[in-house]
Structures are given as C-alpha cells and as structure tokens.
Chain A
C-alpha cells in the first residue's frame, strides 16, 4: 500500500488565487512528521512546511498552510495568493519514528502546479 498518496497529477490556478494540493498518508506509527517540498525545474528540493503528528494546530509558513486532518490521515497544502514563481512540482512526504524507518522520508508522486497570469 502507498504510504503517501497525491491524487492530483496536475493543478492549475490563476495568479493571486488560493490553491489546495491534496495529500493522504498511511501509517500505524503514532509519532510521525509530514513535510511538503517544492521542486522547481532546476531540480532542487525546497522545504516548505512541517506538521508533527502531535501538533495541535495546523502549521503555517507565510503563504503556505497545512490543513492537517489526523482522523482522515490527510495533510493538504494550501498556497494563498499564488504567484507565477509557485509553478513547480510539489511533494508531500512523511517521516516515521519507528525502527530503521527513523529519518527516512517517504515521498508521494507529486503534483505539478501551474500558475497562470
């Protein structure tokens, strides 16, 4: 079974609008972390935002916020006021705490976001 699922291969948004990128995950580990990374065409993975499984509040970082619904095992990324520079591939990733999995990031398949002017 996929541990991280991103069901949207591609998304389009108008500049200055908000967009939500979906991510669901699967784990039996009570302690885990969820990450979102941006990968522009240059190839480098850029860390955006983190949510811990025990965090009571949804994480926010500037224009990025994470809609964390633990019972549904979803961690959707919301980008507000989209900019042309937001066009990139976006990956959701999970880090579990148990055993040799500690430290290992498991990534989803990614969502390509295109921002239209």
Chain B
C-alpha cells in the first residue's frame, strides 16, 4: 500500500513569491492534515479536512495561506506571498477511522522543506 505522497520534497523561493505544496493521502483515508514543522520543533496543525470540508483551520494564517481539497482526495497548500519566516517543513498526514487500529493513527508523508530567501 502506498503511503502519503508529497511533492515537491524541496523548494527554494525568494520572499514575496507564491508557492504551492501537493499531498496525496493514503487511498481511502477521508481525513487529511497539514502540519507546519519549524526546525527543532514538533509539528503544529495548520488545517484538517474531513473529506472536502475544512473542519479545523483555526491555526491557518489566512492572510497568506490557503488550502483546498476539492474532490476529497488530494490537497494543495498555498502560500502567497511567502515570507522569510515561512521557511519550514510542511507535513501532510492522513487517517481513517475505518481502517487500521481503533486509535486512528495518522500516517505522515515525507514533507516538503521550504526555504525562503
């Protein structure tokens, strides 16, 4: 079974430029998460989707960040314009209460490492 796929793995951009990250969750997983991980820190949730609905986006900086999951499968996270402080790893995870163990573990992708110059 394929895991969570993210692309690109690395991205270097100049400040004020736009950037987009893509995530394809594990097949059948209806819940998708985007996390931000700063260097040396634990991941922090940005947004959580149940199918195509964003059910928790309270931590998403909506002035510059946006996300979509139009068909309830893959998702895109966008930053426009990027700032120096956005340099971090952006992790995508997915889960499903219908598969796996009862504790509904989240499966993570390899992340996209963003560097803003």
Residue of A45, A46, A47 touching B91 (CB-CB under 8 A): A45
Instruction: Tally B residues with Cβ within 8 Å of A.
Output: 27
Contacts of A93 in B (CB 8 A): 42
Are B93 and A50 in contact (CB-based, < 8 A)? Answer: no
Would you list 30 pairs from A and B whose C-beta atoms are within 8 A, ordered by A residue? A35-B105, A37-B108, A43-B89, A43-B111, A43-B113, A44-B110, A46-B108, A47-B105, A47-B106, A50-B101, A52-B103, A91-B42, A91-B43, A93-B42, A100-B55, A100-B56, A100-B58, A103-B48, A103-B104, A105-B45, A106-B45, A107-B42, A107-B43, A107-B44, A109-B40, A109-B41, A109-B42, A110-B40, A110-B41, A110-B42
List 8 extra interface pairs beyond A43-B113, A105-B43, A107-B43, CB under 8 A: A35-B105, A44-B108, A44-B110, A45-B108, A50-B101, A100-B55, A105-B33, A109-B41
Contacts of A35 in B (CB 8 A): 103, 105
Residues of A within 8 A of B (CB): 4, 33, 35, 37, 42-47, 50, 52, 91, 93, 100, 103-110
The answer to whether B24 has its CB under 8 Å from any CB of chain A is: no
B97 CB to closest chain A CB (Å) equals 9
Rounded to whole angstroms, the CA-CA distance of A91 and B93 in the bound complex is 15
Top 4 A-B pairs, shortest CB-CB distance: A107-B42, A45-B108, A50-B103, A44-B110
Which of B40, B101, B105, B110 has the most chain A CB within a 10 Å cutoff?
Answer: B105
The answer to whether B25 has its CB under 8 Å from any CB of chain A is: no
The answer to whether B107 has its CB under 8 Å from any CB of chain A is: yes
A88 CB to closest chain B CB (Å) equals 14
Rounded to whole angstroms, the CA-CA distance of A31 and B56 in the bound complex is 19
Rounded to whole angstroms, the CA-CA distance of A91 and B91 in the bound complex is 14
Rounded to whole angstroms, the CA-CA distance of A93 and B44 in the bound complex is 11
Contacts of A105 in B (CB 8 A): 33, 43, 45, 106
